[in-house]
Amino acid sequence: MMIVDEQKCIGCGECVLACSLGVIKIRSRKARVGQGCSFCGACKRVCPQEAVDFPAEVPEGSVPCEACPVGCRIKEGFLGACQRYRNQEGSLVRVVPLHGFEEVAQVVGEDISEEIRKPLVTGIGAGTTYPDCRPAPHILHGKVQGVDVVTVVTEAPLSYSSVLVKVDTDLPVGQEGARVKVGKKVVGHVTTEQYGSKMLSIGGVNLLTGPDGMVVARTMCEIANRRAVKLQVEGGARLEIRVGFPPVVNGQESSRMRVGCGSATMGLFAPLFKEAADEVIVLDSHLTSLMSEHAAGRFVGVKPTGVKLRFKQSTPGRYFGDHGSGWGGTSIVHPREVIKELDMKVAWPGMRILVTETTGEKAVMFQVNARGQLEEVELTALARDVVEAVASSCEPSRVSALYMGGAGGSARAGVSRYPIKLTQAVHARKANLTVGGAPTFVLPGGGISFMVDVERVKQGAFYWTPTPATICPIEYTMLLSDYQKIGGHVEAMKPFEVKMR
């Protein structure tokens, strides 16, 4: 089990919180590690006193787990840190057996039936009936594959609406939570990153009903309709975004989306990296990787090089980066700065170190001289080839967006006399909600909150009104029998063929 230095331990309990197996307890104000310890090292990483360390020798009978970068050593009869693998008589076995679809089909539930997958008509150009207790502007019925189907359409004003914008760029745009502005008006905030892409939330009911609501609604519509918008992140970057086009950050166009994080890049290209250099560092703001320590590097037979990085280690060969305008979105402007030290007891003169990014846009090679210093040398042909392999595996950077709306309000009255039954039908997949004919994802739980890829909706289909709210073309399609069951306005139905003439 992990070793605790009782002279240093202050009993703060950080290790207890970090231990996924719950084998650490605090007794007499000291951490005590139990028998189930898998040597994942989480307690060592979080200990503010540096009181925890690995034992000098691996316990006899423990089995190394290679299912992830953590590298647990699992003792007989116990679980690894993720609780998926158990050491059973000297072999690691997956605790939960492989599942067939039949075993999860009931949980997954039924899919939307083919007859109602597409609406008879879209909500684009439908108009709106107001107040909502009047039947929706168009309630059409027709036959699909010989089955009676109804589509109810409206252009619904939605105050519960927002746009989630994904900006593919390694460049920093601002801190999470930072406000996003159009001019001096606050229209949203920075949320998080999704595999390196920066995520912005624009709009939402609280901003729509705030002092800048009109600008918020207009901005949401501009983005959803795939028009160019200029944004400023408070304390961060100037952004020029347009859905479907590369983002421009502080006047610099991001042309290439990274192939993955630094660790993923190592996992993808380790065999090629090994041929190109003795050591490879992939700089990345999320996870910077070091080939000789990384599991992929060890797998392809790379030997230790004595290179130590300045970033904090997550797991072997994987280091948490930082954020800045340098290489890989880090603060590293000059790549040799990422190397904290070089242990010449392990390294050797002539050793080559390749440093690159997850986009392959920049690369440099160093060679260790007899005094243990780094000298920049020209990239070898093999190094150029592997950097080009990284670059050619990247997708173009672009801006994309999801429109998110809540249709669980009064607009339901135009569809049914019993709004709760419409909500239940949507969640039961008996009524299919589409936007401009595009499929939606309906969030679980109460109400009818949905999201749709704006690039699957005809350009210009979104509007805004100075209530303020955005206006979204919505369709509900269901079997006629189900429409009758939910109390639909059958008296307002018109044949699809007649209406379209």
Note the pTM of the prediction, 2 decimals.
Answer: 0.89
How many CB atoms sit inside 10 A of residue 298's CB?
A: 18
490: alpha, beta or left? (left if phi > 0; alpha if psi -120 to 50): alpha
What local confidence, expressed as pLDDT, does residue 132 receive? 83
List the one residue out of 501, 430, 477 whose CA is nearest residue 136.
477
| Cβ atoms of 403 and 462 closer than 8 Å | yes
E strand spans, 287-386: 287-290, 307-309, 312-315, 318-320, 339-342, 352-357, 363-368, 374-377
At 410 the pLDDT is 85
CB 161 within 8 A of CB 452: no
State how far Cα 114 lies from the chain centre.
Answer: 30
- Triad 445, 135, 421: Cα angle to 5°: 30
Please work out, in degrees rounded to the nearest 5, the angle formed at the alpha carbon of residue 134 by the alpha carbons of 129 and 138. 55
Q: Tens of pLDDT along the chain (501 residues)?
A: 899 999 999 999 999 999 999 999 999 999 999 999 999 999 999 999 999 999 998 888 999 999 998 999 999 999 999 999 999 999 999 999 999 999 999 999 989 999 999 999 999 999 999 888 899 999 999 999 999 999 999 999 999 999 999 999 988 899 999 999 999 999 999 999 888 799 999 999 999 999 999 999 999 999 999 999 999 999 999 999 999 999 999 999 988 899 999 999 999 999 999 999 999 999 999 999 999 999 999 999 999 999 999 999 999 999 999 988 899 989 999 999 999 999 999 999 999 999 999 999 999 999 999 999 999 999 999 999 999 999 999 999 999 999 999 998 888 999 999 999 999 999 999 999 999 999 999 999 999 999 999 999 999 999 999 999 999 999 999 999 999 999 999 999 999 875 454
User: Would you call 401 exposed, middle or buried from its count of C-beta atoms within 10 A (0-12, 13-18, 19+)?
Assistant: buried
Report how far residue 401's alpha carbon sits from residue 433's, in angstroms, rounded to the nearest whole number: 19
Residue 194, strand partner residues: 197
Alpha-carbon distance 158 to 472, whole Å? 7
Name residues whose C-beta falls within 8 Å of residue 242's C-beta, 6 or more positions apart in sequence. 226, 227, 228, 229, 399
pLDDT value at position 501? Answer: 44
The residue type found at 48 is: P
**Which residues are within 8 A (CB) of 481 and not within 5 positions of it... i.e. 6 or more apart?**
148
Contact of 415 with 156, CB cutoff 8 Å = no
Q: What is the pLDDT of residue 171?
A: 87
Closest listed residue to residue 375, CA positions, set 329, 346, 342: 342
335: how many CB neighbours lie within 10 A of its CB? 25
Angle at 473 between CA 444 and CA 486, to 5 degrees: 55
What pLDDT score does 170 carry? 85
**Do the beta carbons of residue 461 and residue 438 sit within 8 Å?**
no
